Every structure is written in structure tokens, then in C-alpha cells.
Chain A
């Protein structure tokens, strides 16, 4: 039982942090604290601690971003071995766009991502509505099951689906990959939409009803538009997770359903190629854009 409850607190932590990122400490008046940085008449002078922390922060940001920047730089490096810088080129990208296998893999990735995002967004939103607005028997258990896919080792999720598809006699294909992606996306959408519902002003719905709207109109004209930033945020996050997934896809894909990350994985295991640097850069930029979009949509909720 306790094991089931953990993922919630874990996700709540993440969610709390995501939400705080949106509205930095609007609840806490810290003007006083900011005016008086901790002064110290003891062992460690405050400036020393602050300098060390500043240095640590700078180093960590270098640590977080250096690999990403190096990858992008090397994707424009005009050298086959990619060891030394031998001038700027875009030929790896040109090669990439002529590579029909890469193109097919990219197309499959998009198909899976679009379908799994659409289904998981609808299913996850409905679940979020139920979990946020109702109290029912077995709710705790259901919440546990709901968030379990987030905490369970991805490899176990992948192989369990492989066994399931074999057991029911389903050929592994893009369909099985899509089903797998829907499963791991539902909890993420539910968490994000639920966070949006949590701060929902129910009086707006009441006002709509008072003004003569019926339930369906109220839902369509008031509830849904107000929820939309959360839903779009969740959808973009699901899309990102889907185009990035390797592990679950590896177990559920058949011979003709290689997605882009799988193709990269297979290539990377053999060695470094400039073409992989280029496709990796594109994938990286795609997910950065999508996530920024997602966070922007989620942030809008506090904009009033």
C-alpha cells in the first residue's frame, strides 16, 4: 500500500516544483529576507559560502549544457571523423534529408507521437476530471495505479508489454508501439491537467449556469477553455516523451517499426557518425521547443 502511495508524493514534488517555477514564490513575502542576506559572525563568512555556491552553480550549468552545445557544434563540423574542427558545413543535414531510411523512421515517430498524444490527452484529461472532482471508494488505489507507470522501471514496463503482446498473439508493429506510448503518457497528462484543475475557480461555472447556460454549454464554453492551457501543456509533454522514447519502444517495436530514437540508438552503439550528430541535434531542438511551449501554456494559468 505504502509503495503505491510513493509515486504520488514524488510527482507532487515535481509538480510543485513545476508550479513554483511558474509563479515564483508569490505566496511568500521575502523582501525582508532579501534585504538581509545571512550575515555571519561565526566560522564561515557569508561571502565565502555565497562565492562557493555561485561557483558550484556556474559549473553545474556548464555541466548541464556543455554536452548539448558540443553536439550541436559537431553536427556542423566539416570532418568525416568529427574529431577536429575543420570548418562549418551543413552537408550532414543535407545527407540526412536524403536518407530515406531516416526519413521513414522520422515519419513513423511522428505517426506514433500524434496518435498516442491524441488518445492519452483525452483519456488522461477525463481521468484528471474524475480524480480532482470526485471522492469514491478505491480512489487511493486508483491514484496509485495511475501514477505507478511513472515510477516503475521503464525496462520492466517495456518487457511486460512485450510478454503481453506475445501472449495475446499480437504482431509487434507501430500499433503495439503506439499502445505502449499511450500507457506511459496517460499518467503525465493526468498529473498536468489535474494541477490546472486544482486552481480552478468553480464560481465561473456557477456564474455561467446562473446566466442560463446548460451543463454542456458550461463545459464547452467555460470549463474547457479554462482547462485548455493544462490540456495543451500535457499534450505537448506527451508528444515530447513519445518522440524521445527508446526503452519501451525497443521492446514493443517489430522489424518494420523502427522509430527515430531506435535508429539513433542502433547507430550510436556502432560508433559516432556526423549524420547522427545532425539528427540528434534536430531531435534535441524539437524537444526543447515543445517543452518550452508546454511550460508556457501551463504558466498562463496564473496570468490573470
Chain B
């Protein structure tokens, strides 16, 4: 099953492992193979199977009756007529994800550029400051926005104090609140790969272009953005994919009004007990995620080829 690597050292653990590599590699991989196989891959296949199954009376699944009904009900109402309800939910989720991605890119790019231009000591600290919220409790951070966005909350207070508004705005439970929450939650996913790309960028190219008389816009369009495209694409996919399937943010800040795919799936599963329908929506969600990653991969590969010329 396994081939030994060429130029393997003869001694040490590495050498020892390589000399009997097949069994060793298999032995090391066995636990994760078992765990991920049984508790990750098998469950995914069950989701596919259930999406074609029929809902049983008491909220479970009839494992014997397979059909396309759950997929059909994505487009139709109870009577079988056309109903855009779920199509709209999917479109809204994709729209929110795109909007979040673009907003993260718009504020994240200059931010990453700024960090990449600091001295070595500052760069590490600034990047750490970006990473800390990323690794802290997502739920709690989203909930904190509920405090900020309240009618009597600090944001309204500051705006009223500055005389920008007279009466407090209804910010909580709106689409805008959800998008702000999403940008907040996923911004580090954008900044980190952008930073990684910009940090590798050779800034003397900008000087050279300037010496040759290029305008700021030209430098951005023809030098900086193309050469940091890998970071832009990686950041975009890392934001888009989790946002399109998210539901905690829209649940807390949208107050049930802004329903995204995740909310609809959660409702189908935990409240309506319609598992086949929830599974069908999950399959469509995964299809969206897969399409997005395939597009990413195509564009990224095309870009890599372009860079070589």
C-alpha cells in the first residue's frame, strides 16, 4: 500500500518508520481513519439517503420509502403549486454571504496591507490582536452585538449624543444587523490570508512602477492586486463558505425575521421534525459550497498560470 520516500535517512525514528513504512503509516492513520470514517463519512452518506427518504408520522424517518419529494418541496407548497419561499431563503443566504465577503474584502485589504507594512515587532502583535477574537467564543461575541444594538444601547446612545439621530434607531433584528454581525464574525478569515499574501509581496515593485511614472490606480490594478490575488481568493472562499451555512448570527441578531438556509435547516430538524426536508436543504447547501470552492479552485489555478507569464 505504501511506498517509501526516496532519499530517506537510514537512522532515527524517520528511518525506522520508513523501513517498515506500509504497516507503520497504516498503524498511525488507523485511529483517525476509523473515527472520521465512522463518525464523519458514514453520517454524510446517511444525510444523502435521508434526503430521499420519507418523513414518518412521529417526526422520524421511514427508511423504506425513497423519492424526490423533499427536493420537490423546495419549490412547491403543500398543494403542489410553485412557491418561491425556500428559493428566496437560499438566494438571501447567498446574497448575505456575497455581501459579507465584499465588505470584509473592502475593509480587510487596506487593513492587511497596513499590518504588512509595519515593523517586524508590530506585525506580530497586530496580527495576534486580529486572531484573538477569531478564536474566542463566537456565540458570546455575537451576543455582545445584541447589547450594542439595543434601542437603549451604546450605539444609539453615541449617535444621539452626537446629534446624528433624534430618536433611537431599530437596529436589532434587521438584515443590516445580521450583516454587521457576519462581517464581525468572519473578518479575521479574510484578513489572515490577505496578510499572508501581502507580506510576501515585494514592495520594491511599487517603487519601480512609481519611478516609471505609473499612477496609484495603475499600480493597484496591474501590480498589487494581481500579485496578491491568491490571498484575495483564499480570504473570499474562507468567508463565503462558512457564512452561507451560518445560522447563529441570523438567529440572534435577526430575531427570527431574517431566515438563512441554516435557520431553515435547524427549524426542519429541531422544531418541525422534518428530517428528509432538512437533509435535502443540507445537500443543496453543500452543493452551493462545493460550487463556490470549485470556482475558487478554477480561478486560483488560472491566476497561478497568469502569474508565471
Which of B30-38, B64-72, B73-81, B82-90 participates in binding chain A? B30-38
**Contact flag A155-B132 (CB < 8 Å), given A3-B293, A164-B43:** no
Q: A126 is contacted by which of B28, B196, B207, B235 (Cβ under 8 Å)? A: B28
**In the complex, number of A-B residue pairs with CB atoms less than 8 Å apart:** 351
Chain A residue contacts of B40, Cβ below 8 A? 145, 148-149, 157, 160, 183
**Contact present for B2 and A134 (CB under 8 Å):** yes
User: Which residue of chain B lies nearest to A19 when distances are taken between CB atoms in the complex?
Assistant: B196
A261 at interface (Cβ–Cβ under 8 A)? yes
**Contact flag A22-B50 (CB < 8 Å), given A134-B2, A153-B286:** no
| Main secondary structure on A side of the interface with B | helix
A250 at interface (Cβ–Cβ under 8 A)? yes
CB under 8 Å from chain A, chain B span 115-161: 115, 117, 119-121, 123-124, 126-133, 135-141, 143-148, 150, 152, 154
Docked Cα-Cα span, A34 to B117, in Å, equals: 8
B178 at interface (Cβ–Cβ under 8 A)? no
Docked Cα-Cα span, A256 to B15, in Å, equals: 50
**Contact present for A57 and B210 (CB under 8 Å):** no
**Contact present for B12 and A218 (CB under 8 Å):** yes
**Contact present for A137 and B192 (CB under 8 Å):** no
Q: Which interface class (under 10, 10 to 19, 20 to 34, 35 or more) fits B?
A: 35 or more
**Contact present for A68 and B141 (CB under 8 Å):** yes
**Contact present for B245 and A154 (CB under 8 Å):** yes
**Contact present for A146 and B36 (CB under 8 Å):** yes
Docked Cα-Cα span, A32 to B272, in Å, equals: 64
**Contact flag A163-B123 (CB < 8 Å), given A137-B2, A148-B40, A183-B35:** no
Docked Cα-Cα span, A244 to B210, in Å, equals: 48
**Contact flag A134-B17 (CB < 8 Å), given A42-B210, A268-B143:** yes
Q: A151 is contacted by which of B137, B210, B293, B297 (Cβ under 8 Å)? A: B293
**Contact present for B146 and A160 (CB under 8 Å):** no
| Main secondary structure on B side of the interface with A | helix
A146 to chain B, nearest CB (A): 7
B18 to chain A, nearest CB (A): 7
A221 to chain B, nearest CB (A): 11
Docked Cα-Cα span, A43 to B102, in Å, equals: 25
Q: B147 is contacted by which of A30, A70, A190 (Cβ under 8 Å)? A: A70
Q: B29 is contacted by which of A142, A210, A251, A277 (Cβ under 8 Å)? A: A142
Docked Cα-Cα span, A53 to B220, in Å, equals: 15
**Contact present for A53 and B110 (CB under 8 Å):** yes
**Contact present for A33 and B120 (CB under 8 Å):** no
Q: Which interface class (under 10, 10 to 19, 20 to 34, 35 or more) fits A?
A: 35 or more
B157 to chain A, nearest CB (A): 9
B279 at interface (Cβ–Cβ under 8 A)? yes
**Contact present for B32 and A135 (CB under 8 Å):** no
**Contact present for B29 and A126 (CB under 8 Å):** yes
B166 at interface (Cβ–Cβ under 8 A)? no
User: Which residue of chain B lies nearest to A207 when distances are taken between CB atoms in the complex?
Assistant: B12
A98 at interface (Cβ–Cβ under 8 A)? no
User: Which residue of chain B lies nearest to A42 when distances are taken between CB atoms in the complex?
Assistant: B215
B-contact bits for A12-44, CB 8 A (1 contact / 0 none): 011011101110111010101110111111111
**Contact present for A40 and B12 (CB under 8 Å):** no
**Contact present for A240 and B135 (CB under 8 Å):** yes
A112 at interface (Cβ–Cβ under 8 A)? no
**Contact present for A53 and B206 (CB under 8 Å):** no
Chain B residue contacts of A240, Cβ below 8 A? 135
A123 at interface (Cβ–Cβ under 8 A)? yes
**Contact flag A130-B121 (CB < 8 Å), given A136-B22, A244-B136:** no
Chain A residue contacts of B275, Cβ below 8 A? 159, 163
**Contact flag A156-B204 (CB < 8 Å), given A13-B193, A287-B135:** no
Chain B residue contacts of A146, Cβ below 8 A? 32, 36
Q: A2-B297, A65-B133, A159-B278 are in contact. List 5 more A-B contacts (CB 8 A).
A: A21-B123, A67-B184, A134-B2, A156-B282, A288-B135
The 3 closest A-B pairs by CB, nearest first: A205-B12, A153-B245, A67-B144
